């Protein structure tokens, strides 16, 4: 992975940061737990038919052994719906825990603590067949959802604070890259000849704890966020030492000065809670933007696309036994496009990738609606449907999937960042839960025209990004705050002299010479 990032850096002409990448792989290590989260989510997705049928048989058999009667279809549907919905529900509760945990335990400490919520449910799910209890699976799904809710917010926050500003976007996409790798891993392991069978599914569920165990063993060797140590803990010595370890050189005075400026510019505000964040005029449009982007990400139809994928492949003439391999191919496309996003985000910028991604998803949803409507009457339309699915996955992978978390990190300063991630994570998981709850009814009532709804959501999100969201690449957190200050109709000051941030290099490093506003 180190070599992968070095190639991307060289392609951007940023060879001076090779030592940074070579000597600090914390972004890979703290993202690895995303593999177990995404594997667990994928195994219970409605489109993932291989192990699904065997797990449902386990539910039915267990009920039969207990009560000597066959489980009715309605009860089976209810229990399976609970199993599926517990994950996003747990994710929502995990998001609510973000702010208090990261403020008291730190970013790294929270990630270490979070491994409990991955290892314990993995053991529970792996032992569910031996214990003959489907209730264990339902409870474990909620617990691992808490893990996902925490890690999906804390990892981008941690990486954003570790990264130099010219690599923040690329490294911020790494968590999403590991999520796509987890999805692909689940799709490969779920092949019937591997673990997607009656004997293998408990092992597959149990294996999800291995990435968390690796993180638990290795993450203690990486430093805490320097920004957290300096701005929130007031320990400048440890902050400087951590920054020197991360960068690979001793001269980190420029970054330390920038952190001191951020610290002094927000001392008067103090640490913001969610309620105070909602009332801050200076953060109004940042907060609205985060909510819109996270809603757009989840309500854009990505889960519906995967839900329809298997039936689309089958209608195109793909053999039933080969559908699983086509699904793996789609997962591979997802990984490749996310890798591409890592390489191009610092050159193209966040805003362009968001616009391009939502635009591609919008067009793909419209074309997919047309293709599904004409599938019975035009012989070659199923192939158009397959192309639309692949194009949609490509579009979502380069923009809507990875960029919102990157932008959330960059839009907020230290005092507000934990509360902002708490809000964005809650919106993310509530939207995820809503799609899972509502889409089956949409599909039943609207059929293929359901995707017109998703196309409209993609279009509205695209328009909002075009009008409101500025480009944040290679900007410091204070520079981004000043950019939003104009839209919020307030003035962000660094001190009594109100020196523009672009001239901040001329500001002396002595913090006593810089006054808080």
pLDDT digits (tens, 9 = 90+) for 369-386: 998 888 878 888 888 888
- List the one residue out of 456, 302, 308 whose CA is nearest residue 386: 308
Q: Is residue 250 part of a domain?
A: no
Whether residue 405 sits in one domain with residue 313? yes
Q: Are residues 156 and 47 part of one domain?
A: yes
* Domain limit, last residue, from 222, 237, 263: 222
**pLDDT at residue 512 greater than cutoff 70:** no
Radius of gyration of the chain (CA): 23
Clarify whether residues 212 and 342 are in a common domain: no
One domain, residues 447 and 336: yes
Are 69 and 125 in contact by the 8 Å Cβ rule? The answer is no
In this predicted structure, the answer to whether residue 172 has a pLDDT above a threshold of 60 is: yes
Based on the domain organization, do 382 and 487 belong to the same domain? Answer: yes
Other residues' Cβ atoms within 10 Å of the Cβ of residue 39: 27
**Looking at the 3D structure of the chain, how many domains does it have?**
2
- Average pLDDT taken over every residue of the chain: 81
189 or 513, which is more confident = 189
Q: Is residue 402 part of a domain?
A: yes
DSSP-derived 3-state class of residue 362: helix
Domain assignment present for residue 243? The answer is no
What is the per-residue pLDDT across 264-279, written as a single tens digit (0 to 9) for each? 766 655 556 677 777 7
C-alpha 502: how far from chain center: 31
Question: Does 191 map to a domain?
Answer: yes
Q: What is the CB-side half-sphere exposure of residue 188 using CA atoms within 13 A?
A: 9
189, 282: one domain:
no
Of 3-7, 279-283, 395-399, give the lowest mean pLDDT range.
3-7
Domain end call among 190, 222, 254: 222
Q: Are residues 294 and 411 in the same domain?
A: yes
Assigned domain for 483 exists:
yes
Residue 409 maps to a domain: yes
Largest Cα span, the chain: 80
187 in a structural domain = yes
Structure tokens of 246? 């991360």
State the pLDDT confidence band at 138, using cuts at 50, 70 and 90. Answer: very high
- Domain enclosing residue 405, as ranges: 274-492
The whole-number pLDDT of residue 517 equals 23
Tens of pLDDT along 446-478?
888 889 999 999 999 999 999 999 998 888 877
Q: Is 279 found in the same domain as 179?
A: no
Both 353 and 487 in one domain: the answer is: yes
Q: What is the pLDDT of residues 479-492, one digit of tens each?
A: 888 888 878 777 66
- Statement: residue 352 has pLDDT above 80: yes
pLDDT digits (tens, 9 = 90+) for 90-106: 999 999 999 899 988 99
Instruction: Give the pLDDT score at 301.
Output: 87
Same domain? For 167 and 313 the reply is: no
- Select from 142, 100, 138 the least CA-distant residue to 118: 142
Residue 236 counted as domain residue: no
* CATH number of the domain residue 188 falls in: 1.20.1250.20
């Amino acid at each position: 992975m180190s070599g992968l990032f070095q190639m991307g850096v060289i392609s951007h002409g940023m060879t001076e940061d090779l030592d940074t990448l070579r000597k600090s792989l914390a972004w890979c290590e703290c993202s690895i737990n995303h593999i177990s989260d995404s594997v667990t989510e994928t195994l219970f997705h409605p489109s993932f038919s291989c192990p699904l049928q065997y797990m449902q048989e386990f539910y039915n058999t267990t009920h039969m052994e207990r009560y000597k009667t066959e489980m009715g279809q309605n009860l089976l549907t209810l229990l399976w719906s609970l199993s599926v919905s517990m994950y996003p529900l747990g994710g929502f509760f995990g998001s609510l825990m973000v702010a208090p945990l990261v403020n008291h335990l730190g970013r790294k400490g929270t990630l270490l603590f979070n491994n409990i919520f991955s290892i314990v449910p993995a053991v529970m799910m792996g032992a569910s067949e031996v214990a003959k209890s489907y209730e264990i699976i339902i409870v474990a799904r909620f617990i691992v959802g808490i893990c996902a809710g925490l890690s999906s917010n804390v990892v981008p926050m941690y990486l954003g604070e570790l990264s130099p500003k010219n690599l923040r976007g690329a490294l911020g996409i790494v968590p999403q890259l590991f999520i796509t790798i987890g999805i692909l891993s689940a799709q490969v392991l779920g092949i019937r000849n591997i673990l997607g069978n009656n004997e293998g599914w408990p092992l597959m569920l149990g294996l999800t704890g291995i990435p968390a165990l690796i993180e638990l063993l290795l993450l203690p060797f990486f430093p805490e966020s320097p920004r957290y140590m300096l701005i929130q803990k007031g320990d400048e010595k440890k902050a400087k030492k951590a920054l020197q370890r991360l960068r690979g050189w001793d001269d980190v005075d420029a970054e330390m000065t920038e952190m001191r400026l951020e610290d002094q510019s927000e001392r008067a505000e103090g640490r913001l809670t969610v309620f105070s964040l909602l009332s801050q005029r200076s953060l109004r449009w940042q907060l609205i933007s985060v909510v819109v982007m996270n809603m757009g990400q989840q309500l854009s139809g990505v889960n519906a696309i995967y839900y329809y994928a298997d039936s689309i492949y089958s209608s195109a003439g793909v053999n039933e036994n080969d559908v699983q391999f086509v699904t793996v191919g789609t997962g591979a496309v997802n990984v490749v496009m996310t890798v591409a996003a890592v390489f191009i985000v610092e050159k193209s910028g966040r805003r362009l990738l968001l616009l391009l991604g939502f635009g591609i998803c919008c067009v793909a949803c419209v074309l997919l609606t047309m293709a599904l409507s004409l599938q019975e009457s035009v012989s070659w339309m199923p192939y158009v449907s397959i192309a639309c699915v692949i194009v949609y996955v490509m579009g979502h992978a380069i923009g809507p999937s990875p960029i919102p978390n990157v932008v959330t990190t960059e839009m907020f300063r230290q005092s507000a960042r934990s509360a902002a991630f708490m809000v964005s994570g809650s919106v993310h998981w509530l939207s995820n839960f809503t799609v899972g709850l509502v889409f089956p009814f949409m599909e039943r009532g609207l059929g293929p025209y359901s995707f017109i709804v998703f196309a409209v959501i993609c279009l509205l999100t695209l328009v909002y990004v075009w009008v409101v969201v500025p480009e944040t690449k290679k900007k410091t957190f204070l520079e981004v705050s000043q950019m939003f200050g104009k839209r919020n109709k307030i003035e962000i000051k660094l001190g009594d002299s109100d020196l523009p941030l672009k001239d901040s290099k001329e500001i002396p490093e002595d913090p006593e010479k810089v006054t808080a506003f």
